[in-house]
Structure 1
């Protein structure tokens, strides 16, 4: 399910609402404008940034910092346990690139929930 041009996510609860809505019909919270205009620096409803996650993956991917940031604690621990092999470094770099090219809608659907994604 892709987000339509006339829709956006509620800044509080993450519900899909009309782009022009001033108050979310689900949670009743007044909507504030997005802090960033670029989609790369956009913030998910839970406060996580796609750009921050991508930078963590590119520069600290060998330690799995991006996994901890995105809420995947188990995967973060796996990256730390196997960081000596170099495999998490390669995988972290690839995930960083994927996060950079990922659409804002996909990022919000995968990681925009309250406590992270997969």
Structure 2
């Protein structure tokens, strides 16, 4: 049996199966399309020079930019920093940004 949860947008109680808050219209966490920060960090660490972590996080334009400039090794350095940032970011903040 599902219970009540708090809205991500306005903080009012909504049913846990609600996709959208009836009060403010904010999308609720459905678990569909939820990205894993460990997976993103590993992709950035090992295949970040090709931008695979950006494609995983639905940042297609940035992923293409990484692919275009992968021969310069600049995307590899940026991806290393991004992997560290992903791992140091809290789960809530990561879900807010990329979820």
TM-score, scaled relative to structure 1: 0.61
- Write 1 or 2 for the structure with the bigger share of helix: 2
Are 1:16 and 2:8 an aligned pair? Answer: yes
User: What is the CA RMSD across the aligned residues, in angstroms?
Assistant: 2.5
Q: Partner of 2:19 in structure 1?
A: 27
TM-score, scaled relative to structure 2: 0.71
Distance 2:76 2:42 in 1: 13
Q: Partner of 1:50 in structure 2?
A: 37
Query: Any unmatched runs of 5+ in structure 1?
Result: 1-6, 9-14, 29-43, 113-118
Correspondent of 1:68 among 41, 55, 75 = 55
Tell me the CA shift for residue 106 of structure 1: 0.7
Query: Any idea what SS the aligned residue of 2:53 has?
Result: helix
Write out aligned runs for 1:105-116 (5 A): 105-112=92-99
Which structure would you say has the larger Rg?
2
Tell me the CA shift for residue 48 of structure 1: 1.4
